[in-house]
Amino acid sequence: MAFSFIDSKSYLYTSESVTEGHPDKLCDQVSDSILDAILKEDPSARVACETATTTNLVVIIGEITTTAKINYEKIARKTLKSIGYNNANTGIDWQTCEIIVKIHEQSPNINAAVSTALEHRDANSLMNDVEVDAIGAGDQGMMVGFACNETPELMPMTMSLSHQLTQKLTEVRKNNIIPYLGPDGKSQVTIEYEYGKPKRVHTIIISTQHNENTTDNTISSDILKYVIKPVIPEILFDSSTRILINPSGKFVIGGPHGDAGLTGRKILVDTYGGVARHGGGAFSGKDPTKVDRSAAYAARYVAKNIVSAQLADRCEVQVSYAIGVSSPISVSVETFGTGHIADDEIVKLINKHFDLRPGAIIRDLNLRQPIYQNTASYGHFGRLDIELPWEKTDKSEILKQEAF
């Protein structure tokens, strides 16, 4: 049995977010920008695109099978420009940096397993929906989805506030409200909980890239005024709340020049800030036949509908797959002592109302569309600024009716 948060009188929990200019997030955005460009022309493409970056260099590698005609270098430069990497002083220059592209087609062994699932290869199987049944999982593994009632978007409050802070950092930079900021930055929020409910903000940390000539006092004053106070509800502050702004001192050297970046290296930022477990697979650069991505989205969809239906206050859903097999190997639920019906009853409702075969997930959530670049920074879940199909709660009413 997992630790029950509702039994603990007081505990602290922390989540972090990073801006779109963080080197790892830069790489996620390049990979997903390439994926979107391919899906616009070829919705059935197989894409596994990885990006790495360091000083004055972007490297794009992977396995891509598509009929689309893509200029990978042009997409990468456009992505760097949109983030704000427009001169070497910011960490990389979109116009002059070197870009290396090494792409080959998907392994024919993997392609065969995905295109013709085990169930479809079984001559004795009865196919109800050939198009859905024929798609096998693109890999083995377990994927996790989570939802809780701490925020209107049914996300952990630590994660939600962390993302809002980094989004605000980017907003005030791009709108020249704080013109001396650079693209790279991080936030971290620690909240004190009491019997499973958020009580107060314990600590806020903001680290933001800035130009050489700006004083620490100016940065602290501006970040407090234009970033922290507009985001964090006043009711969560008290006299003991700590605010740390650029605690390391100067943060002039940032972006790929300050630290190398790599696709898929911020998986807890992408998901639930460590509040829920993680299956291990990253999302960005992968087409929806990769269950690392599509099944994680489906698991969030399931968990969010369960919490929206008030079957539990917190819900973690795990789904597991075998490569080349359509049907999930297992589906499990953990409600951390907050369930209003038994967990095994929730699993029965999931199996009845959600089709978690990869082909069905792609069909039901309409995942063969170019919607992924916007997910590559500020999280894949609980987004209020963009509409994502796995965030809908269209099954909550039927779940509630059948449960109660």
DSSP conformational letter for 6: G
- pLDDT category at 9 given cuts 50, 70, 90 is confident
Look at residue 2 and tell me whether its pLDDT is greater than 50. no
Lowest mean pLDDT among 84-93, 123-132, 164-173, 372-381: 123-132
Per cent of the chain over pLDDT 70 is 91
pLDDT tens per residue, range 371-404: 999 999 999 999 999 999 999 999 999 999 999 8
Residue range 108-133: mean pLDDT, rounded = 52
- Say if residue 366 is exposed, middle or buried (CB neighbours under 10 Å; 0-12, 13-18, 19+): exposed
Looking at every residue in the chain, the average pLDDT score rounds to 92
Place of tokens 């106070």: 229
pLDDT tens per residue, range 333-363: 999 999 999 999 999 999 999 999 999 999 9
Per-residue model confidence (pLDDT) at position 239:
93
**Beta-bridge mates of residue 226:** none
Place of tokens 């989570």: 146
- pLDDT category at 126 given cuts 50, 70, 90 is very low
Better pLDDT: 56 or 139: 56
Look at residue 120 and tell me whether its pLDDT is greater than 60. no
Per-residue model confidence (pLDDT) at position 115:
53
pLDDT tens per residue, range 178-201: 999 999 999 999 999 998 899 999
pLDDT tens per residue, range 30-81: 999 999 999 999 999 999 999 999 999 999 999 999 999 999 999 999 999 9
Q: Where are the beta strands (DSSP E) in 9-139?
A: 11-18, 46-54, 57-65, 86-87, 92-93, 98-104
Residue range 325-335: mean pLDDT, rounded = 94
Indicate the helix (H) or strand (E) that contains 133.
helix 130-133
Compute the C-alpha angle 45/50/55, nearest 5°.
145
- pLDDT category at 136 given cuts 50, 70, 90 is confident
Q: Which residue, among 284, 378, 212, 229, has the nearest Cα to 49 in the 3D structure?
A: 284
Per-residue model confidence (pLDDT) at position 109:
56
Look at residue 127 and tell me whether its pLDDT is greater than 50. no
Q: Which residues are catalytic?
A: 22, 24-25, 50, 63, 186, 251, 259-260, 265-266, 286, 290, 292
Per-residue model confidence (pLDDT) at position 129:
55
pLDDT tens per residue, range 255-293: 999 999 999 999 999 999 999 999 878 999 999 999 999
DSSP-derived 3-state class of residue 340? coil
Q: Are 268 and 283 in contact (CB under 8 A)?
A: no
Q: How far apart are CA 260 and CA 281, in angstroms?
A: 20
Place of tokens 């270098």: 73
Look at residue 298 and tell me whether its pLDDT is greater than 60. yes
Q: Are 259 and 91 in contact (CB under 8 A)?
A: no
